[in-house]
Amino acid sequence: MDRLAALRGTTPPRPHDARAIAALAANPGCTRRALMDGAGIDKSSTARHLGFAPPFGQSPFAIARSNAFEAQVRGSLAELLGSVLGLADVAYEDLRGACPPSAHDQDDPPTLYDHPGLTLPIAGESTALEPSVPVLSYGGRCHVVVVKSFAVIDGQADPAAVAAAARQGAVYALALQACDLRVADDMVLVCPENFANRPVATLVDVRRQLAVLRRQLGRMASLDSLAATLPPEVTFDLRPDASGEPTRPAADLAADLGHAPARYAPECLSTCDLCYFCRDEARQAGASDQLGRPVRDALGGVATVGEALALADGTLDPAPGQEEIARLLREAARLRTECLT
């Protein structure tokens, strides 16, 4: 952990919350993010100091709507889950920060455990999650219950919002597994239906999110070896003064961040505080990453937009292994010219 602590330097560590842990699974291939999160670095302060303030922060209206919906649902959650999942008499127990009981039989009565106290090991440290997510136990397994205020309209919800909720649910599912509980592969997502505030519950499969999160947290446990690949003088220290204001020259910080490989994708814009900084960096480098993961993967190995264009118009000979993508790019360029003329 010494090298990670040195990366953070004199900046106070930022504790992880469930939302931040969930976001780890959004871009598992990014070394820069893994190192910063592992070292407990406040990415939001870093981004602001670099002149690329993050775009996040819900409007007061959205927060009030979310709180009102959650308060409305919480009062009748046991009945709602019972009727949606066909369970009779769902019992309710407020755990007040305690761990849910670990022994559950198939025949135990369904129980909704509210305010469970859960922890998750992150980069070697046990991190407490805020006890805000209820857990429904039935059929010998636990289901994480996530309440969100985005609407389900005609059975459809915003896929990005559902994916973010699933990542958050996976954090709690992993923490429940760490308590030796049998956890279901799907979580229960409760949202308002159509344009009314009537809550509706749906089962959402979180196996993929769980696998990514496990991999990412496992990777964070071996971050010291990743950090050791950086030049020894590199640090992400903001050098705060007595009032907490960063004093480090921004250009110096940006240069050191540049040593930690990033993997920018447009999805970063909704999941990572450093998104504007990394987008600017990707644009300046002309990186094909800025076109999105599907394009980057399709271009496989062609790192920049300029290189792709040069392969397409034949001004650049393909390197060994690039023959096939060069042929496809030339073909695409020919078709484009044909369409335009």
> Which positions touch ligand SF4 (CB under 6 A)?
27, 30, 32-33, 262-264, 268, 272, 274-275, 278
Minimum distance, C-beta of residue 310 to ligand SF4, in the bound complex (Å): 25
| Closest among 223, 284, 260, 267 to 46, alpha carbons compared | 260
Minimum distance, C-beta of residue 24 to ligand SF4, in the bound complex (Å): 9
Pick the closer one to ligand SF4 by CB: 155 or 218. Answer: 218
Pick the closer one to ligand SF4 by CB: 150 or 264. Answer: 264
Minimum distance, C-beta of residue 37 to ligand SF4, in the bound complex (Å): 9
User: Is the CB of residue 312 less than 8 Å from the CB of residue 299?
Assistant: no
CA distance 60 to 97: 28
User: What's the residue count for the chain?
Assistant: 341
Neighbours of 76 (CB within 10 A): 12
| Closest among 234, 190, 231 to 72, alpha carbons compared | 190
Pick the closer one to ligand SF4 by CB: 226 or 268. Answer: 268
Pick the closer one to ligand SF4 by CB: 210 or 275. Answer: 275
Minimum distance, C-beta of residue 205 to ligand SF4, in the bound complex (Å): 24
Minimum distance, C-beta of residue 121 to ligand SF4, in the bound complex (Å): 22
Helices (H), the chain: 2-8, 18-24, 31-38, 43-49, 60-74, 77-85, 159-178, 207-221, 223-227, 250-257, 275-285, 293-299, 305-312, 323-340
Pick the closer one to ligand SF4 by CB: 262 or 311. Answer: 262
Alpha-carbon torsion angle 62, 64, 70, 74, nearest 10: 180
CA distance 152 to 193: 5
Tokens of 67: 């709180």
CA distance 133 to 136: 10
Pick the closer one to ligand SF4 by CB: 46 or 149. Answer: 46
Minimum distance, C-beta of residue 258 to ligand SF4, in the bound complex (Å): 11
Pick the closer one to ligand SF4 by CB: 30 or 204. Answer: 30
Minimum distance, C-beta of residue 237 to ligand SF4, in the bound complex (Å): 17
| Closest among 47, 39, 139 to 86, alpha carbons compared | 139
